[in-house]
Amino acid sequence: MSVHVDAAFIRRAVEWSDLAALRIAIFQATGDPEIGKLGPVAKLDAADRQRLIDRCVALIERDLDTWSIRTPDDDEIYSLLEMVIGAPTPEGDFELRKGVLSFEDFPFYADWPSGESKTPDDFHVAIIGGGFNGIATAVQLTQLGIPYTLYERRTEMGGTWSINRYPDIRVDTLSASYEFSFEKDYPWTEYFARGPEVRGYLEHIAEKFGVTPNLKLGHDLVEARFDDAREIWQISLRRTDGSIETREVNAIVSAAGLFANPKYADFAGVENFGGLVIHPTQWPADLDLSDKRVAVIGNGSTGVQLLGRVAEMSKHVDVFQRTPQWISPRDKYGKHVEPEIRWLVDSMPAYWNWCRITSIMHLFNFHKDFLIADPAFEATGGRVTQISENVRAMLTEYIKTETGGRQDLIDKLIPDYAPMVRRPIVDNGWYRALTRDNVELVTADIVRFTETGIETADGVHHDVDVVVTATGFDIVKYLWPAEYFGRGGANLHERWDEESPMAYVGMMVPDFPNLFILYGPNSQPVSGGVALPAWYQMWAGFVARCLTTMIEQGNTTVEVTHEAFKDYNDRLVVESQNLIMVTEEASSRKNYYVNERGRMQVNAPWETCDYFRMTTYPDTDAIRFR
């Protein structure tokens, strides 16, 4: 897109920019002492902030054409991180934050230990799933020259961004952080990208980085069985025409994902309902709600995202809420990226890199600020921590403001638990939608479906034509419905049914050699500070380090030991008990992080830097190569 850049355009770009990132990018390019001495942007008063804006504008107008991107050394990165954050980076966090900055071409990815590819001619990896994780792994293996095939059961790639098609679907983290670090300055059109744009991004990545030639769409894994004698995996895949394809592979990377299997409505009488029941993953493209009475069941991320559009399209909407949520605003949510900002990202060296840090640095202390209770603070009558209480107060005030002070709604919407006990939800106009004349909030439990609607525990019958079940996904069904049989015929699903799904560092299970599970049990980092796509790259790097070590050592299998697996999961359970998610008030009724057995199921409870080390450098005492 061609734009006319003049002084006014540049000033708008600076004023609308992430000023903390721009300050450091310009200082990196110039070493300007005036910018350097001003200090972190978050601590500037209005006068100093204006002084910084004016200085940035002046330098860009005068010198931008002379600046070029360069990779700073570790000492400079350390100093610049301290400038932008306002505090030294702990030694254990430096490597991770350096990777997030992404001055390197492929941060977090592995290289061959010897420096050159030594893959045997007959070696092949099967990657299952064409979403973010599968593509991250495919790019890593492409870089290493390890042969693979990426199998996707749908007829397009995209993972959860292909499965979900409901109105207003979008990411709830900034697009600039919800991306891979090896594709620099991708031209997102919105600050929080919509689903189709995310799918387009993944297709772009696959094409640009050599994944597409290795992609097989319409191939659904049915079974994977390990051959003990030959130490290979035999896999069976169902094609879209129903035929079965079989082949042998040396390793499997399951990137089937956490949100792959919808949880459907199982209310009494649902089979008798005469209207339409829709899960958001099955949203009809031609659905007309203009004269329909609609029920939306659920107020998680999906229910909150779609309500506003559904309310606009429908005659009437009943919103069924079981548990109130803490729903928070996001700056620039739903906004297009302005031409001035697009120009700045394209033109200002290192601005994109520093935006990757500034967009997440408010989460660097997330663990202690929100997830672990402060006994001294609770002794004074507070809950969790002072920061948690401050956020609770802010979000409570937000509820009151967005509902126009309607006490009948406020009383039903304020949760009785601390923020972060459940997954935080980003507001997409949900509270305001509840104030519409054609929307009613229902908090009574659903008793049964009838032929014409829904009956609730207070005896009210709600007449509806369409029911939207925004009830989420069956997240305990990892890898489902594919069956995995390991050494001696060990059945992975049966083992997990008996014990709860468990894995070593979220990726490996004993008796299942050369099988890696991405977004597996307890793999989602509970701490803040790094966006998920960076973890996808780290997990892919872990897989690659295991495979390259195995190949270079002349081994045929890599597998976690039973002892290491048990020790890791025992420590995980103990560590989880310190977190607010695993409390009486955070029961499985309120919290998908915890399963029905009371065990933390989704999250890894570790500090970010600790989990980074676990998933970057395989522990050779825990993992056996043979």
Low-confidence residues in the chain, pLDDT < 50: 588
List Cβ<8 Å contacts ≥24 apart for 307-312.
307/428, 307/429, 307/430, 307/433, 307/439, 308/168, 308/428, 308/429, 308/430, 308/432, 308/433, 309/167, 309/168, 310/167, 310/468, 311/433, 311/436, 311/438, 311/439
Rounded Cα distance between 253 and 141, Å, is 11
Q: For the chain, which residues make up each domain, given as ranges?
A: 7-101+333-363, 125-261+475-560+605-625, 270-326+384-417+419-469
Rounded Cα distance between 151 and 170, Å, is 25
- The position carrying tokens 């979008």 is 170
Q: What 3-state class would DSSP assign to 375?
A: helix
pLDDT digits (tens, 9 = 90+) for 171-204: 999 998 899 999 998 999 999 999 999 999 999 9
pLDDT of amino acid 585? 62
For 71, 74, 240, 419, the CA distances from 103, given in Å and listed in that order, are 6, 11, 42, 35
- Residue 538 CB-half CA count within 13 A: 29
Using alpha carbons only, give the angle 547, 246, 260 rounded to the nearest 5 degrees: 70
Asked if 226 contacts 485 with a C-beta cutoff of 8 angstroms, the reply is: yes
The conformation of residue 90, written as its DSSP 8-state character, comes to P
Q: What 3-state class would DSSP assign to 546?
A: helix
- Residue 614 CB-half CA count within 13 A: 22
For 589, 598, 619, the CA distances from 605, given in Å and listed in that order, are 20, 15, 19
The CATH number of the structural domain formed by 270-326+384-417+419-469 is 3.50.50.60
Q: What 3-state class would DSSP assign to 601?
A: coil
Q: In sequence order, what DSSP letters do the residues of 456-491 get, joined into one string? A: ETTS-EEE-SEEEE---B-TT-TTTTSEEE-GGG-B
Within 8 A by CB and 6+ apart from 365, the residues are none
pLDDT of amino acid 1? 60
Domains 125-261+475-560+605-625 and 270-326+384-417+419-469 share a fold: yes
The conformation of residue 594, written as its DSSP 8-state character, comes to B
* CATH superfamily placement of domain 125-261+475-560+605-625: FAD/NAD(P)-binding domain (3.50.50.60)
Rounded Cα distance between 407 and 413, Å, is 10
Nearest Cα residue to 428 out of 354, 335, 491? 335
R_g over Cα of the chain:
25
pLDDT of amino acid 231? 98
Asked if 83 contacts 24 with a C-beta cutoff of 8 angstroms, the reply is: yes
Rounded Cα distance between 153 and 130, Å, is 8
